[in-house]
A and B are shown apart, each in its own frame.
Chain A
């Protein structure tokens, strides 16, 4: 079975531009979470989605938005890019469904390395 897949793997943008990152969860997983990992730090939670609805939001500005599609894939959008947005963006999936409120393992993709010039 394929794991969590993310695209693109690397991306270079300039300040002020916008970016869209994509994530496909593990087959059968209905919940997707997004994290930002700055070099030398642990991942920081951005969003969680389940059944196309936002179920959680971290402490990130409104320039960050996301959505989930009927096939459970997800997109993370970042507008008006700043130098500080340079990071590894990780997507993680978990089962969701009737077990949404239980403690389910989250499995990560390889991430998208975003560099802002």
Chain B
């Protein structure tokens, strides 16, 4: 089955710096890759997603890149702010006949942005 590896497990940056979180997946048939932000005690919130027919997607300070050949995708946060501090999860999913499939999550990256 699908396996998603996420690195690093913790990341500390200064306010204003960039942060990059990387994930690799094992199933080449996976075709949907969302990123979730989870603050302490709160729900995972979808912040950006990318489909396998696209190599890059950007939304203000957040961008995601996908390399299907290498089976890895990355989250880039620019101009980090203290409110970006949270745990970030990557996930992968494949849609196949008869089922929408399910999300397979990485283990998370705890991002700390220091003022």
Closest B residue, CB atoms, query A43: B105
Q: Which of A18-26, A66-74, A75-83, A103-111 lies at the interface?
A: A103-111
Q: Is the CB of B99 within 8 A of A55?
A: yes
Q: Is the CB of B43 within 8 A of A103?
A: no
Closest B residue, CB atoms, query A31: B100
Which residues of chain A are within 8 angstroms of B99 by Cβ–Cβ distance?
48, 55-56
Q: Is the CB of A55 within 8 A of B100?
A: yes
Which residues of chain A are within 8 angstroms of B105 by Cβ–Cβ distance?
42-44
Closest B residue, CB atoms, query A54: B99
Q: Is the CB of B95 within 8 A of A102?
A: yes
Chain A contact surface mostly: loop
Which residues of chain B are within 8 angstroms of A101 by Cβ–Cβ distance?
95, 97, 100
Within the complex, which residue of A56, A92, A110 is in contact with B101, where a contact is CB–CB below 8 Å? Answer: A56
- Given the interface pairs A58-B102, A110-B42, the reply to whether A103 lies near B51 with Cβ below 8 Å is yes
CB distance from A116 to the nearest CB of B (A): 19
> How many of B's residues come within 8 Å of A, CB to CB?
29
Q: Is the CB of A43 within 8 A of B44?
A: yes
Q: Is the CB of A42 within 8 A of B106?
A: yes
When chains A and B are docked, how far (Å) is the Cα of A100 from the Cα of B98?
A: 9
- Interface bin, chain A: 20 to 34
Within the complex, which residue of A41, A55, A102, A108 is in contact with B43, where a contact is CB–CB below 8 Å? Answer: A108
CB distance from B104 to the nearest CB of A (A): 7
B46 within 8 A of A: yes
A86 within 8 A of B: no
Within the complex, which residue of B6, B49, B104 is in contact with A105, where a contact is CB–CB below 8 Å? Answer: B49
Question: Can you list 24 A-B pairs with a CB-CB distance of less than 8 A?
Answer: A35-B103, A41-B108, A42-B6, A42-B91, A43-B89, A43-B105, A45-B102, A45-B103, A48-B100, A48-B102, A50-B100, A55-B100, A56-B99, A90-B43, A94-B100, A96-B100, A100-B100, A101-B97, A101-B100, A103-B93, A103-B95, A106-B103, A107-B46, A110-B43
Which B residues are within 8 Å of any A CB, using their own CB?
Answer: 4, 6, 31-32, 34, 36, 42-46, 49, 51, 89, 91, 93, 95, 97-108
Task: Give 7 nearest A-B pairs by CB, closest first.
Answer: A42-B105, A103-B32, A45-B102, A108-B43, A110-B43, A108-B44, A42-B89
